[in-house]
Amino acid sequence: MLGDQLSEAMAALRAADPVADVVVMAEVMAEASYVPHHPKKIAFTFAAMRKFAARLRGQGWTVAYTRLDDPGNAGSIGAELLRRAAEHGAGEALATEPGEWRLIAQLQDLPLLVRILPDDRFLASHAEFDRWAAGKTQLRMEYFYREMRRKTGLLMEDGEPAGGQWNYDHENRKPAPGAVDYAGPLRFEPDAVVEEVLALVEARFGANFGRLRPFWFATDATQAQAHFAQWLDGGLPRFGDYQDAMLRDEPFMYHAVIGVYLNAGLLDPRAVCDAVEAAWRAGRVPINAAEGFIRQIIGWREYVRGIYFREGPSYVTRNALGHCRDLPAMFWGAPTSMACVAATVAQTRDEAYAHHIQRLMITGNFALLAGIEPAQVHEWYLAVYADAYEWVEAPNVIGMSQFADGGILASKPYVSSGNYIDRMSDYCGSCAYKVKVKTGPGACPFNLLYWHFLDRHRERFGANPRMGQMYATWDRMDAGKRALIVAEAGAWLGRMEAGEGV
């Protein structure tokens, strides 16, 4: 049982015999360090694993559990599995399919018969997604989402979408409100199990990017369900309206902040969607909020998993735009004068969390405009967010955020100037740069880099129908102004590459 498979519903556990079989779980350095994970992510995973192991023991299972600091720890999932197989005289292991290609390969390459069972926590199997994708020139999430709505019956009435529309996204783009009247995630004081893990993480991973304390995550299914119930009553009603908005002092806005629990197995995706639908049918929340949430779970979450497994292990190496700059130090907390990037990185450091627009339109937008190597961007996201596992993170970064897959996932690159950030946040008001200034001293870097990106990638995107208006605006500019923008953007990028403060 892996650290993101903490559910009694896992296929391997269902196929096992509690009388005859041994459950193997292990905290191993190979998993804790293949990227420099945020200390909160490591602590959450180890604490939740320990509590899940105790739960299984309470149900009568024999659990062979290895802690990170156990003297006999073999250091990797594969080595621990072999060690335990030899210890118990086992000739076969049952496993639920991991969510990362490297772990699948590790299990398949062992000198031990490992029967890998499908991870059926998801609504769409690999075969089902591949059948949907077969023969299509474009794999657009919206149409896959409609299939999942029909399959599940969620927000459906007599075979048609509730309210007469499949998608209410146009109602979910309101700028940031003056104040947020939701208290945010339910916070849990560390108990003895969690405190022991926190001490271990402080000792072993204290140098990693990210603040470990205060640590407030739920670490078992009961706590995760209590957290979700609080959000269902307090956050969901206004989630739809403001899901794209950003405020410097409101890191969570009205977001559910359940990705970390869903992806580890502490919450069930169908169950949370059923609860949201029930809240809408009871008249407690508007349909745009319910539909926006359900689309993220049965639409986007299932879709990106399908893309990850369909595209194969090489997906994370894609670099369709040929970007090659190194990830700048500001992503690891070095000072920057860009208020939006500074705020998002600081929030990430403190909480191991940022919501989807902060990830897509602040750090992701900047990395794409600046031409950062996608593999480095991918590894950063995988490292710093507590909900990041490669099956979900890689398509969101390689495909959605960086357009590095060449358009498999997105029909156009998600780039914007500073105007979008100004409209959707309060970051720009306190920024050293001026969002309304397009060139010269104090010009917002997003303004310069936006046009620089379009100019250098014109051959690829010039004929894209969704980008025609942007190129038409660029072409209407005076030739001297265009040359000035390109020169100033290049100079700004040069200062960033040289390690100067930007």
| pLDDT tens-digit profile, the chain (502 residues) | 999 999 999 999 999 999 999 999 999 999 999 999 999 999 999 999 999 999 999 999 999 999 999 999 999 999 999 999 999 999 999 999 999 999 999 999 999 999 999 999 999 999 999 999 999 988 999 999 999 999 999 999 999 999 999 999 999 999 999 899 999 999 999 999 999 999 999 999 999 999 999 999 999 999 999 999 999 999 999 999 999 999 999 999 999 999 999 999 999 999 999 999 999 999 999 999 999 999 999 999 999 999 999 999 999 999 999 999 999 999 999 999 999 999 999 999 999 999 999 999 999 999 999 999 999 999 999 999 999 999 999 999 999 999 999 999 999 999 999 999 999 999 999 999 999 999 999 999 999 999 999 999 999 999 999 999 999 999 999 999 999 999 999 999 999 999 999 9
How far apart are the C-alpha atoms of 337 and 432, rounded to whole Å? 6
According to DSSP, the β-strands at 113-117 and 92-96 are parallel
> Which of 301, 298, 294 minimizes the C-alpha distance to 280?
294
As a CATH number, domain 126-184+235-311 is 1.25.40.80
CB environment 443-479: b (16+ within 10 A), e (fewer): bbbbbbbbbbbbeebeebbeeeeebeebbeebeeeee
Look up the pTM and report it. 0.97
Domain 126-184+235-311 and domain 329-497, same fold? Reply is no
Torsion of CA 286, 292, 297, 301, to 10 degrees: 180
Strand, coil or helix: what is 308? helix
- pLDDT at residue number 38: 98
Phi–psi pair at 161, nearest 5 degrees:
-65, 135
Q: Say if CB 488 and CB 448 are below 8 A apart.
A: yes
Identify the pLDDT of residue 196: 98
CA dihedral 370, 495, 379, 217 (to 10 degrees): -100
CA gap 86, 91 in Å, rounded? 8
CA distance 396 to 360: 8
Angle between helices 126-133 and 302-311 (to 10 degrees): 80
How many CB atoms sit inside 10 A of residue 120's CB? 13
Task: Please check whether residue 343 is in contact with residue 247, taking contact to mean a CB–CB distance below 8 angstroms.
Answer: no
Three-state secondary-structure class, residue 73: coil
CB burial of residue 335 (10 Å; 0-12, 13-18, 19+): exposed
Phi, psi of 223 (to 5 degrees): -65, -40
Q: In CATH terms, is domain 329-497 a member of 1.10.579.10?
A: yes
Q: Where are the domains of the chain?
A: 11-117, 126-184+235-311, 329-497
The token duo for 140 is 């657009």
Are 390 and 35 a contacting pair, CB within 8 Å? Answer: no
Distance (Å, rounded) from C-alpha 420 to C-alpha 407? 22
Helices marked H in 299-457 — which ranges?
A: 302-311, 339-351, 356-357, 365-370, 374-384, 390-394, 418-424, 445-456
CATH class of domain segment(s) 11-117: alpha beta
Per the CB < 8 A criterion, the answer to whether 421 and 427 are in contact is yes
Instruction: Tell me how many degrees the CA angle 402-489-480 measures, rounded to the nearest 5.
Output: 125
Separation of alpha carbons 162 and 156, rounded Å: 5
Cβ atoms < 10 Å from Cβ of 187: 12
Residue 407 and residue 384: Cα distance in Å, rounded?
25
* H or E element at residue 117: strand 113-117
How many contiguous H segments (helices) and E segments (strands) does the chain have?
24, 6
Q: What is the pLDDT of residue 273?
A: 98
Name the strand (E) or helix (H) holding 405: none
